[in-house]
Amino acid sequence: PAAGSATTVDALIVGAGFSGMYQLHCLRDRLGLSARVLEQGSGVGGTWYWNRYPGARCDSESHSYCFTFDKELYEEWEWSERYPEQPEILRYLNHVADRLDLRRDIQLDTRVKAARWDAGANRWLVETEAGERFAATWLITAVGCLSSANVPKIPGLESFEGDWYHTGQWPHEGVDLTGKRVGQIGTGSTGIQAVPVIAAAADHLTVFQRTANYSIPAHNAPLTREFKDYVKRNREPLRALMQSTPNGHPFAIEDRSVHDLTPDEREAVYEAAWEKGGLQFRATFRDLLVDKAANDTAAAFLKRKIRQTVKDPATAALLANIDHPFATKRPPIDSHYFEAYNRPNVSLVDVRSDPIERITPTGIQLRSGAEHELDIIVFATGFDAMTGALLKIDITGRDGLTLKQAWEAGPKTYLGLQVAGFPNLFTVTGPGSPSVLCNMPVAIEQHVEWITGCIAHMREHGFARVETTPESADRWVAHVNDAADATLLPMAGHSWYLGANIPGKPRVFMPYAGGMARYRRICDDVAAHGYEGFEFAAG
């Protein structure tokens, strides 16, 4: 991008989801900078603007899946359910935009195409798809971790005569599934949410499963008046609790080992957690994610639940044929997922043993030659996680180095927040941050506040440039690897945490598994020590 006729702002933020909106608020309203958000969607909300598939809802509990930095904002919003549905979260984020008066600095329908560091002027030059130009001292990407849809390249898709949709790009007007034969590929968190809802609407649903998955019932329900009042009265302790836990949820991990209990006692703990529902299940013992023998006990319990729920033994066996330890892939939670297989209009196809060979004009054909006739194909096939959306922007840093080149062998950041060679660029929830292993708003508030603090520090000292060093990034990548290796997480060889779901993507364990609370302490220490690992320069 060239500088000519560029709109100049202090900070340019890409994306208007949770991250981008809070970043705008912090920079504009707390630091007094001029800031602009560029958002490709026609509305704010990010993930929750795009993911409108049947059954889309959050796996974090509603009272924890929101901003907690502002007392009034927290107390005035009332969630209706334990796990909010997509439309309600989108309403919330629109409320935030209005309440903080953010819209006047958010430019919708604007896709950022390229960004180039202008070393002479210490600024970023940014160009949009429509050819609009911006110049900004700071460029902050708030593009989300799970926002670049992955539609697998299956031969023949273009010949399909029915309709097909990726769950993350679901049509806003909805899809009428009445009387339709629907095929759904994918049984991750998304697929597991979608199955029961699609099954209830469609004539027939065929689920194509490559990797069987654990799932825990959400036991979603409307919130009682009493709970809503409790939430309103307890913002501060809830916020403190969320900030103190490794995963940012409002529940602590029990400080006991699986091995401290007898098998019967353990069973009772699992049963109670199952009845309670949700992600708390993984908080029942401290060693579930670090000790394979401990994990095996949870895995056995969950597989047994599948076999007890699903009536057809062959279907149950396929669903329970899970080969990764519990919670080493993102553990889904569901509303009647396994029960859906007891419906006469739902069938399960194992595409591990008989892979999808091609898509034909009338459906999906497997390697064995078996054909499944379909009117609609739903791709619940996930995302090019953590790096996909960033690499879609053509970013060129110092000395002509592109982000693609810098990350050829896998993403490298310091704290998930900065990349060596890219001054004044901050990546909210970047690879190397704990965000995707954490309740997202908790991670986002921390990242955004830390970035805001760093920019304030620069202004105080009259610095024009901040950049992390290659040594700091190398050290952080090594620490991220060590943190992952201290857990069972790398045992799921096929997870998007590793980039393994995208053909050709380098296999690097991307999220920081050392826990959000620890990460926060590290970031605070870095700042307290004069932003150790970053170099500042005056103009």
Among 13, 37, 96, 185, binds ligand NA7 (CB under 6 A): 185
Q: Which of 402, 394, 390, 399 is nearest to 426 (CA)?
A: 390
Residue type present at position 427: T
Q: Where are the alpha helices (DSSP H) in 401-493?
A: 403-406, 440-461, 470-485
Q: Is 211 in the site for ligand NA7 (CB under 6 A)?
A: yes
- What does the per-residue mask of binding to ligand NA7 show for 381-420, with x meaning CB under 6 A? xxx-------------------------------------
CA atoms within 13 A on the CB side of 59: 24
- Sole window of 111-119, 188-196, 247-255, 358-366 interacting with ligand NA7 (rule: CB under 6 A): 188-196
Q: Cβ distance 386 to 501 under 8 Å?
A: no
Q: Cβ distance 422 to 398 under 8 Å?
A: yes
Q: Cβ distance 110 to 130 under 8 Å?
A: yes
Among 68, 189, 328, 413, binds ligand NA7 (CB under 6 A): 189
- What does the per-residue mask of binding to ligand NA7 show for 322-361, with x meaning CB under 6 A? --------x--------------------x----x-----
- Sole window of 32-40, 207-215, 299-307, 523-531 interacting with ligand NA7 (rule: CB under 6 A): 207-215
Residue 16 — φ and ψ, nearest 5°?
A: -120, 45
Count of CB atoms situated within 10 Å of the CB of 304 = 13
> Per DSSP, what are the bridge partners of residue 236?
none
Tell me how far apart the alpha carbons of residues 66 and 441 are, in angstroms, rounded to a whole number.
Answer: 6
On the 0-12 / 13-18 / 19+ scale of CB atoms within 10 A, 233 is exposed
Among 23, 187, 418, 429, binds ligand NA7 (CB under 6 A): 187
Looking at beta carbons only, is 338 or 496 nearer to ligand NA7?
496
Residues contacting residue 302 through CB under 8 Å, at least 6 positions apart: 214, 215, 216, 326
Looking at beta carbons only, is 330 or 336 nearer to ligand NA7?
330
Q: Is 186 in the site for ligand NA7 (CB under 6 A)?
A: yes
Residues contacting residue 169 through CB under 8 Å, at least 6 positions apart: 50, 149
Q: Which of residues 115-134 bind ligand NA7 (CB under 6 A)?
A: none
Residue type present at position 530: G
Q: What tokens does 413 get? A: 């950041």
Q: Is 146 in the site for ligand NA7 (CB under 6 A)?
A: yes
Q: Cβ distance 533 to 469 under 8 Å?
A: yes
Q: CA geometry: angle at 478 spanning 475 and 484, to 5°? A: 140
Looking at beta carbons only, is 48 or 124 nearer to ligand NA7?
48
Q: Which single residue is written with the structure tokens 């990546």?
A: 427
Minimum Å gap between C-beta 33 and ligand NA7 is 32
Q: What tokens does 430 get? A: 């970047």
Tell me how far apart the alpha carbons of residues 139 and 340 are, in angstroms, rounded to a whole number.
Answer: 46
- Sole window of 205-213, 230-238, 341-349, 509-517 interacting with ligand NA7 (rule: CB under 6 A): 205-213
Minimum Å gap between C-beta 319 and ligand NA7 is 12
Among 1, 43, 188, 511, binds ligand NA7 (CB under 6 A): 188
- Sole window of 25-33, 272-280, 376-384, 389-397 interacting with ligand NA7 (rule: CB under 6 A): 376-384
Minimum Å gap between C-beta 337 and ligand NA7 is 12
- Sole window of 67-75, 379-387, 401-409, 448-456 interacting with ligand NA7 (rule: CB under 6 A): 379-387
Instruction: Return the residue nearest ligand NA7 (CB atom).
Output: 188
Q: Residue 534 belongs to what H/E stretch?
A: strand 534-538
- What does the per-residue mask of binding to ligand NA7 show for 444-483, with x meaning CB under 6 A? ----------------------------------------
Among 15, 20, 191, 431, binds ligand NA7 (CB under 6 A): 191
Minimum Å gap between C-beta 173 and ligand NA7 is 21
Q: Cβ distance 102 to 25 under 8 Å?
A: yes
Contact residues for ligand NA7, defined by CB under 6 A? 146, 152, 185-191, 208, 210-211, 330, 351, 356, 380-383, 494, 496, 501
